[in-house]
Amino acid sequence: MTNDYRISTKNLNLFYGDLQALKNVSIDVPNNQVTALIGPSGCGKSTFLKTLNRMNDLIPNVTITGEVFFSGLNVYKEYDIVELRKNIGMVFQKPNPFPMTIYDNIAYGPKIHGIKSKSKLDDIVEKSLRDSALWEEVKDRLKQNALGLSGGQQQRLCIARVLAVEPEVVLMDEPTSALDPISTLKIEDLIEDLKKSYTIIIVTHNMQQAARISDITAFFLNGEIVEFGNTNQLFSTPRDKRTEDYITGRFG
Amino acid sequence: MVRHSFDRELEQLQSLMVKMAGLVEESIENSILALKKQNVELARQVYENDDNIDELESRIEKVCINLIARQQPLAKDLRAISTALKIITDMERIADQAADIAELTIRMAEMKYIKPLIDIPIMADLAKKMVTKAIDSYINQDITLAREVCDGDDEVDDLFSKIVLELINIMKNNPETVEQATDFMFVVKYLERIGDHATNIAEWVVFNVTGSHDHMARKTD
């Protein structure tokens, strides 16, 4: 594995009981780029995303074979899960701020990871909120409850919360599907900015969103990767007929 | 199949393209016939037909832009629409050049031609065949035919050089022919350009089918 691909999978298979949800998935995810995972419901794209930071560990009857590497180490064998999730953060479909102040939402992670200095925490909170393009909107109400923010602001807060622990990779599972178009575009802009410092993998049902924001796209179908490559190429001249049918809306 | 209304709109776009192509073919055919027979009436018809072609071009443009805005076409749909947008420009230029030839025909109608027209009709037929083949290759998405169009361009270019030389010699020998010889010079230049536009169309047909746009015409001159 080279340094250009911090996340890689090799012959990854995942079963929910008898049902095989991922079949021999082998990809290298390039650093500091946005990789979009697309495909119809039930194709395995969210399942795949969750294997990367072991979110499937909590689901009963899940069997995983094959390998997931992060920075050259097998995430299922050679990583402490807390350390892994610090390095690979995740943003979910519905914004899920903690029921506490805006400030505490961001400071929570760094505190858990041992940062106690008030001034250092202040710095982290400000930097994370600036990086998630939320600072200007909330700087005068950091001590107010985060649940009072709008949906789009809450989602950017959740992104700030991830950034506060300085991960290398940010996983996003349909991060804008519960947001209005303006908030969606704000998040998309933010993703564009974030890729300078982070590697981003995003699951999206919105094909136009994948086309707009990603550098690389993976098309999943029935647990397999049908096509994986440059977004421009995949959306203009897909190599596989199944990709063509899916992205042009002639599926099934 | 789940995009019925989009598919219907793409079919409508295709039928507008076929209609425009038909008018363009008719224009070039008639302009050549009018030149050969010094038929002013036919030349005038070509000239007037040009407005209809221009209108059709703007109509197709609007259809394409609306489809892009409303349907977010991707892959082969996107290629079909961008190909249509590119091709109509070439078709419109071909019709313009046919109209230009018609205009010169009207101007020369009362004069006796300085020489019997032999090579010019041959060149005109070649250019017309290129256009017909280019249009057929578009309608049938036939890339073998599209490649033939590009091969034909060499012949048209060779005839262009040959006729230009001949006209220069005629002018040198008899300065009174300069005016008409210059008009013929324009005619052959228009024909040569028509060949180039046909080649462009053919190249876009190849793009539409394969996804890659290569310039296939001869690059030596």
pLDDT (tens digit, 9 = 90+) per residue, B107-156?
Answer: 998 889 988 888 999 999 999 999 999 999 999 999 999 999 998 899 99
Q: Chain B residue with minimal CA distance to A240?
A: B75
* pLDDT for A245: 94
Is the model's pLDDT at B31 over the cut of 80?
Answer: yes
Burial per residue of A204-225, b for 16 or more beta-carbon CB atoms within 10 angstroms, e otherwise: bebbebbbbbbebbbbbbebbb
How far A1 CA lies from chain B's nearest CA (Å)? Answer: 33
How far B62 CA lies from chain A's nearest CA (Å)? Answer: 21
Is the model's pLDDT at B218 over the cut of 60?
Answer: no
The ranges of chain A with pLDDT < 70 are: 1-3, 252
Q: Which residues of B touch A237 (CB under 8 A)?
A: 75, 79, 211-212
* pLDDT for A47: 96
The Cα B40–Cα B45 span in angstroms is 9
Q: Is B144 on the interface with A (CB under 8 A)?
A: no
Q: Please, are residues B73 and A248 in contact by the beta-carbon 8 Å criterion? A: yes
How far A242 CA lies from chain B's nearest CA (Å)? Answer: 12
Q: What is the three-class DSSP state of A154?
A: helix
* pTM (predicted TM-score): 0.84
Q: What is the three-class DSSP state of A80?
A: coil
Q: Please, are residues A121 and A110 in contact by the beta-carbon 8 Å criterion? A: yes
Q: Which residues of A touch B213 (CB under 8 A)?
A: none
Count of pairs with CB atoms under 8 A, one residue in A, one in B:
36
pLDDT (tens digit, 9 = 90+) per residue, B143-185?
Answer: 999 999 998 899 999 999 999 999 999 999 999 999 999 999 9
* pLDDT for B212: 87
Q: Which residue has the tokens 């994986």?
A: A228
How far A217 CA lies from chain B's nearest CA (Å)? Answer: 14
pLDDT (tens digit, 9 = 90+) per residue, B35-52?
Answer: 999 999 999 999 999 999
B74·A251 Cβ contact <8 A: no
In chain B, residues 37-76 whose CB comes closer than 8 Å to chain A: 72-76
Nearest to B75 among A208, A247, A251 (CB): A247
Q: Chain A residue with minimal CA distance to B1?
A: A250
Nearest to A248 among B77, B211, B212 (CB): B77
Q: Chain A residue with minimal CA distance to B81?
A: A236
* pLDDT for A58: 83
* pLDDT for A156: 95
Q: Which residue has the tokens 């947001």?
A: A179
